[in-house]
Amino acid sequence: EPGPIDLSRYGGRSGIPTFAGAPIALTPEDLIAGDVDVAIVGAPLNMGSGWRGAQHGPLALRLIGRVGGNDQYTQISPSRELNIVDYGDIAIDQDSTERSMQHVREIVREIAETGAVPFIVGGDHSLEYPNVAALVDVYGEDNLSVIHFDAHYDVGRDRAHFIDHGQPIYRLLADGHIKGGDYIQVGLRSGSPSESGYKWMREQGFKYHSMAEVERYGWDYVLERILSEAKADGRKLHISFDVDVLDPSYIAGTGTPVSGGLTPREAIPIIRKLCAQQEVVGFDIVEIAPEIDPTYVTNLHSAAIVQACLIGVSMRK
Amino acid sequence: EPGPIDLSRYGGRSGIPTFAGAPIALTPEDLIAGDVDVAIVGAPLNMGSGWRGAQHGPLALRLIGRVGGNDQYTQISPSRELNIVDYGDIAIDQDSTERSMQHVREIVREIAETGAVPFIVGGDHSLEYPNVAALVDVYGEDNLSVIHFDAHYDVGRDRAHFIDHGQPIYRLLADGHIKGGDYIQVGLRSGSPSESGYKWMREQGFKYHSMAEVERYGWDYVLERILSEAKADGRKLHISFDVDVLDPSYIAGTGTPVSGGLTPREAIPIIRKLCAQQEVVGFDIVEIAPEIDPTYVTNLHSAAIVQACLIGVSMRK
Amino acid sequence: EPGPIDLSRYGGRSGIPTFAGAPIALTPEDLIAGDVDVAIVGAPLNMGSGWRGAQHGPLALRLIGRVGGNDQYTQISPSRELNIVDYGDIAIDQDSTERSMQHVREIVREIAETGAVPFIVGGDHSLEYPNVAALVDVYGEDNLSVIHFDAHYDVGRDRAHFIDHGQPIYRLLADGHIKGGDYIQVGLRSGSPSESGYKWMREQGFKYHSMAEVERYGWDYVLERILSEAKADGRKLHISFDVDVLDPSYIAGTGTPVSGGLTPREAIPIIRKLCAQQEVVGFDIVEIAPEIDPTYVTNLHSAAIVQACLIGVSMRK
Amino acid sequence: EPGPIDLSRYGGRSGIPTFAGAPIALTPEDLIAGDVDVAIVGAPLNMGSGWRGAQHGPLALRLIGRVGGNDQYTQISPSRELNIVDYGDIAIDQDSTERSMQHVREIVREIAETGAVPFIVGGDHSLEYPNVAALVDVYGEDNLSVIHFDAHYDVGRDRAHFIDHGQPIYRLLADGHIKGGDYIQVGLRSGSPSESGYKWMREQGFKYHSMAEVERYGWDYVLERILSEAKADGRKLHISFDVDVLDPSYIAGTGTPVSGGLTPREAIPIIRKLCAQQEVVGFDIVEIAPEIDPTYVTNLHSAAIVQACLIGVSMRK
Amino acid sequence: EPGPIDLSRYGGRSGIPTFAGAPIALTPEDLIAGDVDVAIVGAPLNMGSGWRGAQHGPLALRLIGRVGGNDQYTQISPSRELNIVDYGDIAIDQDSTERSMQHVREIVREIAETGAVPFIVGGDHSLEYPNVAALVDVYGEDNLSVIHFDAHYDVGRDRAHFIDHGQPIYRLLADGHIKGGDYIQVGLRSGSPSESGYKWMREQGFKYHSMAEVERYGWDYVLERILSEAKADGRKLHISFDVDVLDPSYIAGTGTPVSGGLTPREAIPIIRKLCAQQEVVGFDIVEIAPEIDPTYVTNLHSAAIVQACLIGVSMRK
Amino acid sequence: EPGPIDLSRYGGRSGIPTFAGAPIALTPEDLIAGDVDVAIVGAPLNMGSGWRGAQHGPLALRLIGRVGGNDQYTQISPSRELNIVDYGDIAIDQDSTERSMQHVREIVREIAETGAVPFIVGGDHSLEYPNVAALVDVYGEDNLSVIHFDAHYDVGRDRAHFIDHGQPIYRLLADGHIKGGDYIQVGLRSGSPSESGYKWMREQGFKYHSMAEVERYGWDYVLERILSEAKADGRKLHISFDVDVLDPSYIAGTGTPVSGGLTPREAIPIIRKLCAQQEVVGFDIVEIAPEIDPTYVTNLHSAAIVQACLIGVSMRK
């Protein structure tokens, strides 16, 4: 009979690592039977062309544990407030990003259709494409905003392939799933976009907050602007969090790092506030490449970001 | 209804790491319902006083994967020949080895009572005490031999505590579970035993093969002697494999390493041969401390040792 | 004849690493004969159940060197202002925290009785129990305040053992050595305390400053509040500094890290100011687990914390 | 005017790392003008699905240096006996192995057509496909033998894609470039081939020497058999050396390691002997993934393998 | 015929790593023929007596790449605005700093004499001596200011040797190349200078900004003071950037780290602003010791510093 | 009053690391008063031009501990049979190898003059020069043989400096301290010597055993030849052990590694046998560069080599 499978012995964990120490679900029926609020699912896609290793991101987050426990600030334990499950990993064709897209979209959609919020743990950032497309499938066009945290703008318009980790947003726009005006980008500081790229983005209606803006006005000011912009449209929200939005000092384990990024003490609160302020219907964290960081620091901060959103979601219950 | 729980999606692994990629069982009823041949169970005990970290041994072996697949030499796939399960981890009191002993013994016994062979993944070497005691509980005195692979003899007789990682064999003898004559030790080369220690061991009937013997006569000769001695009594067999029997060049991830140990190409065949030659009713691999080795080499060789025994066990089917 | 033993050759260090490059003392008579101001002593206790390794903390600080030299800000060289010694390591029973407590307390007391300030280098945080108890033995009840820097509150009230690294403060209160009102906690951000825990702490009179407070009001504000509170009672002071109060980005080498902690540029000044503002009669730095950090960064910041307090102590001379 | 470009200053290296410290050539005209014997070329292809990172293999070998210097055994300096150049890297489409194949084949062919021996530094093992195809383009069918050193047989017959790192040999046969009987495989020990795989290989005429054979008969015996078999047909030879034929203890930096492999002292002499015994017209070394090995050991042994072949080639001059 | 040598194939990089992916020049004639604006040159000097390894700094920066690309803030691509070359490495006598000084000075001078700006990548900080001396050779006394970013003041006056990494500034003054008043020091926080050292520096007219000043007044205030002081004299500027001015949390790969340093988000903007505000005629970055940092973080931040100055230089074009 | 200073508390180690856990002696008077058999002294010289770091060799061996304890093979505990002391470190001028030579020679001579055997822990291999010179000072010409274990022959004859790590043997011959015929070299396999180098060595009467000889005849044969040659002259013996004689797989922590070296199970027995067979009057172990090896394996094998000689020395008592 369907429902989440509890792997714990003695009422605690039994050594088999799952996201948030949660029970496991493998089918939509399990989600429905378990009245699941959040289904965390791995998508070990690894086709980025930098220092690869993003395929082990899901494993890293299963191992680190710390995402469902009590939060000092809010005195909320997501694991107690929410029905959370580990929905396993999505099958990936590691030899073709393009072939992986449709199946990721199907799984994310089947989660969302049950009313659960999919938390996708990547994997590289090409995942933003099927994740957002799936949510639009379920919630309809013009009902979704996306906040994209990233050192890179990921709107590459002249790429050799249909999809790769540098163009998910462009592909979403080109395929008509979403509009530039539905997007807020935060933390941009890589070589791109160029001036013409920025021009195109402005024409498309993108809102963005680069690290240049943070250097000039300070994070507190930028934080408030982002919260206001996000609140203004009041729509359902997807957050796509590329861990390289953080400075490589904090996230050494990622494939295309850029100096000059956010600190954890800047990133954690904004995620918690966004997830508490608005109805989050999807969340992805991508580009965790744990083997590049010989310490556990990358995994720890990544988990804190996931937990921050879980806390926010819990606060709305 | 009882039985192993299959976590695979698409007929393959779904991202949740288990020993040998096997289904999960959490109760003896699961083992019986699944007609389980081998139950691999973690025992993350970590009280050794060297460079600690043995508590992560079970996780390391769940992650490395490679233990149930096809073997070139024998053309046997243990996962196909045997019903293998991941029996989860045993609860450990990390603040007291002594308090952990009884519960480990209970779980190992409950596995063995179903007829399944417990493969215990440590954790430190104090586990040899409850493992062997549990097997004697099930199979009776005088029906079990033990082969102890280790750089250390683990027969400390004057320790401050009832049990620790340096005295499991002494404790087994002192408590009357087994006799010195039931033991073969392989790979000894640490500071102990002293001359008086060796004298006592000979009085107790221990058989042993130190690295000094290997230096003098070569491994091929020693290998044959061990196989002959093991075969001679024809009894049921428990193998206790401390990974530090291997040279630290191959197993950097262990807490009390000693220079001058075996190579993987010496250790893997002897384990396969022993497990094929005799009826193995228990197997433990201990002192894997993965975080001390910044590569995956320790985990890989450890998995190869476990697989070697699974192949041997399969060959008898 | 008693007195510190100088191991230097050529008037400099001779290769044998000691705390602060200081002479060695092994008995209270040595401390008295040398008119010693500060005795730095190692307590390599390692029973925490996270990623262990705290037993090598004393070694790490002996090796890193950089404590005792000139400070730019104050133009003070602690090694010149103070008679500092390395008091060696305290014997620890690595198989039982409980059995280690009494002996640590004896050694800390024998240092304090000579008038020297014990600087205890851990080892895990269960050390706070014997350290504070010993100081109360010497200075009497109601004469001591403690400032506890830590990501964790360490007031666990329902633990399986008499003492472990999660409950030293509770044990101190339960045994009547000190009161909740004698405590200021700084940097709390782990899962505990829960709401009921906070309620209990407030009932006991604890003062505390969580990272939630820092997020809301900023560090400058919190810093001033802590200095004021500490100054208000004007009593002798013990500082217990768990390095995990710093963010894991700065202190990767610790066993129970929590994202979102202090930076070195926040922590170093507050320690210097506290040690200059009040009469420090004890200082401990705990949970340094150097092997978890493949760089020297953990050790370097840890040494800077110790030096900051030595500078403060020097400023009062 | 064409010809190798010497980047050295002061007659030595000037800091810009090239293969073997050699001059650079970028066109076939450069090779002809320089009467080049050996052109070392990088092919940073990285589509294997294990622990990736093979794309940095060419860089690793440029950095390690040690491949053209004097050899003690033979008193030969390849850099003195041979005109060696660094031919730069071949452009790779990191999002599609299939699309990269044709261009690699073109570049290898353009090298071979000048009479120079291409030494290809991978990159993953799918490179064996274009490398061998290019040599057949130049030297004609039935004029080439290949010795494949690898833990894996790389004859996958039922793969989802046209080409990947597990099937280059199958693809070569399927496309009619070469026959099974032209192949000698050395060091096999992974899960594959299964019994049916071996049967198929025997039907195709493959010669192979697994580690099971080495376990049974010893390396000296197997070494002689390989040399005899290779000598028997007397044809031009391509060597495809996957570094995972070595045990992971020696080559931690590779993506699909298997326990129980060759040692450097077994592998280096056989390569030197093969390259001296027969006319080598192509050589590739693949699956070096330097970032997985935190030491330089992987790179050092890889360089020693390249040098061993250069020495052999020099001995025939 | 002279001129920069372009090693790119397909119009892109061909695998041979150069500074900023730039063409190579090896003689002054190449610089003149190529109308070169910036010549980046390696000086792999490694005689510091801490944790050595600075000799691999040039290699590290050649490998990391990211220094000529587009900058988000300014929308400038240095590689497009400036003619940049990799001028190779300067020959160093690794057994004598003193013997290396004259040749470094010659090469830096030969670059500067063509009108190109030398960017010297060290190597240890003794390089500041020949770098500044060479610039004075070309531009004359009293025409040059130097800003020295460093945790250390490098004005050691009582050293055993003519030159070492702790006294380049003293040697410059003692030899009459420059005056104390021409110097601004930023980030001082090591044990030196003592009070007498500061007194001497003030007598010589040095301007300096220690981390104590930053602690007291905040970075924004100090930043403005430095920019003002630098602007006040309006002379040509050399920047000597020791990476240990950054906190070891960000630059683990350096030999004499000191806790409590700048962050990348403080350092990058000041470098960009200085290089835009004034005519920079020389720049050195020293004490990058990449092997001490097992991540790429040290190299990444170092590259960002170099890029920040290249951007500033570009802004003046 | 003179004599070794015992730093132990409770009759055991007290946390201050010394060689072999031995008492400390700082003057010849201490050695005489303590009737010292073996004085282990550090010489942290670090001027090699490869991957530096040999200056931390003495520290590494003080930390690893395991050198005075019981040996299984011989049942001898060097610490019980011999009076061993830690003689501290010798002062080194890290900016000039040449200036360091005379002082090292003085200290080694002052040890040998008391009748104690100096065990010098380097530091780089230029130390062989003062070590051997000092022993000749004490024991006279023609009374000493030297066995040099090394991948390199260290007889560089055309170097820029009076002394460096590539020419200690040449310098000894050139200065007339010893003759080529007094030397046995073991393990040679680097690029040098060339044919002319070998010719010169043969003219000088050197005996040598390269790895080429080991490849051709096997280690057992070479081992016996070395023991015979060493025994033949029956003179006092100095052993100079460069850890790079071992393969880099076992000793990653060294500065000029060469693939294809000895294994620990080859090296440890020959050292024990040599030290038991002949009167050893000096021993040095050099080129341990611990920070290059992220594991403890280099240190462990290095300690095993030192212990092997201590055991041999003990066997003659």
pLDDT at residue F175 is higher than 70: yes
From B242, B44, B288, B256, select the one nearest B128 (Cα to Cα): B242
Min Cα–Cα distance to chain E from D9, Å: 7
Task: Write the pLDDT tens digit of every residue in F226-242.
Answer: 999 999 988 999 999 99
CB A244 within 8 A of CB A194: no
Q: What is the CATH number of the domain that holds D177?
A: 3.40.800.10
Residues of A with CB under 8 A from a CB of E: 51, 188-192, 194-195, 198, 210-212, 215, 247-249, 252, 257-260, 292-294
| CA-closest candidate to residue D277, choices D222, D240, D242, D239 | D239
Q: Which residue of C has its CA nearest to F41?
A: C15
Nearest to A89 among B5, B15, B18 (CB): B15
B216, B198, B215: which is closest to B207 by C-alpha?
B198
Residues of chain E in contact with residue C268, where contact means CB-CB under 8 angstroms, are: 259-260
Residue A181 has pLDDT above 60, yes or no: yes
Contact B248 F72 (CB under 8 A): no
- Measure Cα distances from C210 to A67, A315, B247, C265 in Å: 19, 20, 47, 18
Give residue-wise pLDDT tens across range D35-68: 999 999 999 998 754 556 788 899 999 998 778 8
pLDDT at F66: 75
Report the alpha-carbon distance of residue F54 to residue F286 in Å, rounded. Answer: 8
User: Which residues of chain E lie closer than 8 angstroms to F47, CB-CB?
Assistant: 94-95
Quick check: B48 pLDDT over 80?
A: no
If you average pLDDT over residues A234-261, what whole number do you get?
96
Q: Is residue F112 part of a domain?
A: yes
Q: Is D151 a domain residue?
A: yes
User: Smallest Cβ distance to A292: which of E70, E75, E295?
Assistant: E295
Of C49, C51, C93, the CB nearest to B291: C51
Asked whether residue A73 is assigned to any structural domain, the reply reads yes
Chain B: nearest CA to C137, how far in angstroms? 27
User: A51 falls in which pLDDT band (50, 70, 90)?
Assistant: low
Inside any domain, residue D218: yes
Q: Work out the percent of chain F whose per-residue pLDDT is above 70.
A: 98
Segment A210-228 shows an average pLDDT of 97
> According to the model, what pLDDT value does residue B159 have?
86
Contact B300, B65 (CB under 8 A): no
Assess whether pLDDT exceeds 80 at residue D302.
yes
Residue C14: the pLDDT is 86
Write out pLDDT tens, residues D190-229: 998 999 999 999 999 999 999 999 999 999 999 999 999 9
pLDDT per residue over F105-164, tens digit each?
A: 999 999 999 999 999 999 999 999 999 999 999 999 899 999 999 999 999 988 888 888
- Paired tokens of C246: 């710093």
Q: pLDDT at position A11, please?
A: 76
Cβ contacts of B164 on chain C, cutoff 8 Å:
95
* CA trace torsion C253, C259, C265, C270 (10° rounding): -90
Of B278-282, C1-5, C26-30, the poorest mean pLDDT is in C1-5
> Which one-letter DSSP state was computed for residue C76?
B
Task: Mark yes or no for CB contact F47/E291 under 8 Å.
Answer: no
Contact C77, E190 (CB under 8 A): no
What is the length of chain B? Answer: 317
- pLDDT (mean) for C197-203: 95
> For residue E237, is pLDDT > 90?
yes
What's the pLDDT band for E164 if we cut at 50, 70, 90?
confident
Contacts of F195 in chain D (CB under 8 A): 75
In tens, the pLDDT along D87-99 reads 999 999 988 999 9
Number of residues that make up chain A:
317
Q: Which of A12, A13, A5 is nearest to A33 (CA)?
A: A5
The whole-number pLDDT of residue B10 equals: 84
Q: What percent of chain A has pLDDT over 70?
A: 98
Residues of chain B contacting C94 with CB distance shorter than 8 Å: 47, 49
Q: What is the pLDDT of residue B158?
A: 83
Sort out which chain B residues have CB atoms less than 8 A from C49's CB and list them: 46, 55, 94-95
Residue-averaged pLDDT of chain B: 94
Name F71's bridge partners: F76
A interface mutation test: which of D46, D49, D52 has the most A CBs within 10 A? D52
Q: Is B291 in contact with C292 (Cβ distance < 8 A)?
A: yes
pLDDT given for residue D233 in this prediction: 82
> pLDDT confidence of B52, banded at 50, 70, 90?
low
Give percent above pLDDT 90 in chain D: 84
Per-residue model confidence as pLDDT tens digits over F110-121: 999 999 999 999
pLDDT at F99 exceeding the cut of 70: yes
Q: Go through chain D and tell me how many residues it has.
A: 317
Between A246 and A94, the more confident residue is A246
Residue C166 pLDDT greater than 70, yes or no:
yes
Alpha carbon E47 to chain centroid, angstroms: 17
Band of residue D234 on the pLDDT scale cut at 50, 70, 90: confident
Contact yes or no for F9 and C91 at CB 8 A: yes
- Rounded to a whole number, what is the distance in Å from the CA of B197 to chain D's nearest CA? 34
Nearest CA in chain F to C107: F9
First to last CA, chain D: 28
**Cβ-based contacts of A24 with chain B (< 8 Å):** 7, 16
- Chains in touch with B (3+ beta-carbon pairs under 8 Å) read A, C, D, F
Q: What phi and psi values does residue F220 have, to the nearest 5 degrees? A: -60, -45
For A99, residues 6+ apart whose C-beta sits below 8 A from its C-beta are A93
Name the residue of chain A whose CA is nearest to E250's CA: A249
Per the domain annotation, does A1 fall within a domain? Answer: no
Sign of the four-CA dihedral C86, C88, C94, C98: negative
What pLDDT, in 10s, does the model give residues B190-245?
998 999 999 999 999 999 999 999 999 999 999 999 999 999 988 999 999 999 99
CB atoms inside a 10 Å sphere around CB A74: 15
What residue numbers bound the domain in which E250 lies?
19-315
Res E253 pLDDT > 90: yes
**Separation between Cα atoms, residue D51 and residue D88, nearest integer Å:** 25
Over residues E179-185, mean pLDDT: 97
- Across E118-143, average pLDDT: 96
Using an 8 Å Cβ cutoff, are F95 and E97 in contact? yes
Instruction: Return the residue of B nearest to C164 by Cα.
Output: B95
Instruction: Provide φ and ψ at F303, rounded to 5°.
Output: -65, -35
Cβ–Cβ gap D46/A53 under 8 Å: no
Q: Do C252 and A70 touch (CB under 8 A)?
A: no
A183-188, strands of its sheet edge to edge: A84-89, A38-43, A117-122, A280-286, A236-242, A144-149, A183-188, A207-210
Give the count of beta carbons closer than 10 Å to the beta carbon of residue C195: 10
Considering its fold, how many domains does chain C have in total? 1
DSSP H/E element including B238: strand B236-242
Query: Per the domain annotation, does F309 fall within a domain?
Result: no
The reply to whether E11 falls in a domain is no
On chain C, the residues whose CB falls within 8 A of the CB of E289 are none
Residue B2 falls inside a structural domain: no
For residues D263-292, average pLDDT: 96
B201 vs F contacts (CB less than 8 Å) = none
For residue B17, CA distances in Å to A62, A118, B43 come to 9, 21, 16
| Omega cis (within 30) before D58 | no
CA proximity to A174, closest of A150, A151, A158? A158
- F189: nearest CA partner in chain D: D72
Distances (CA, A) of D306 to D253, E174, E266: 16, 52, 46
pLDDT for residue D52? 60
Q: Are E163 and E97 in contact (CB under 8 A)?
A: yes
Closest approach of chain A CAs to the CA of B112, in angstroms?
19
**What does the pLDDT average to over A3-31?**
91
How far apart CA B152 and CA B168 sit, in angstroms, is 11
* pLDDT for F65: 77
pLDDT > 80? residue D127: yes
Q: How many angstroms separate the Cα of E196 from the Cα of each of B68, C308, D195, E166, E200?
A: 71, 22, 82, 17, 6
Strand partners, E307: none
F309 CB-side CA count, 13 A: 30
Say yes or no for a CB contact (<8 Å) between E248 and C296: yes
Nearest CA in chain F to B212: F73
Interface test with A, best of B14, B100, B291 (most A CBs within 10 A): B14
CA distance B80 to B63: 20
- pLDDT(B136) > 90: yes
Min Cα separation B154/chain D (Å): 27
